[in-house]
Amino acid sequence: MRKYDEPIEACFGAGSFSTLEVELPGLPAEFRWRSHTWRIREVEGHWALADPWQEWGRVGVLAEHCDVWQVRARDPWREREGVFQIYRHHASGRWSLLAVVD
């Protein structure tokens, strides 16, 4: 697994992957990363993460929540496919690529 934690652009437009949006609300149909568009073809997993913050030497209230999706996606222009972990920050709503699964 290669970790990146880089911003991505999530695209929610209607298209051939609209069934995923109905099945799993909030998941983009595709995302753009490093000038390439990846169309989500399958969801392999979904979970929530929270980063705890330190308060007086102990773990305190959860500061940041995010939803992580492990998806299989395809770049139709280069005819490549991969498995990616993408996530959405609850507070800001922005999307990022967490990792590419080898």
List per-block mean pLDDT (blocks of 10 residues) for the chain, which spans 102 residues.
91 55 67 93 87 50 71 92 90 88 86
The reported pTM is 0.76
Sort 8 into a burial class: Cβ within 10 Å, 0-12 / 13-18 / 19+.
buried
What's residue 24's pLDDT?
A: 55
Q: Where are the domains of the chain?
A: 2-101
What's residue 90's pLDDT?
A: 77
Query: How far, in Å, CA of 4 to CA of 99, rounded?
Result: 5
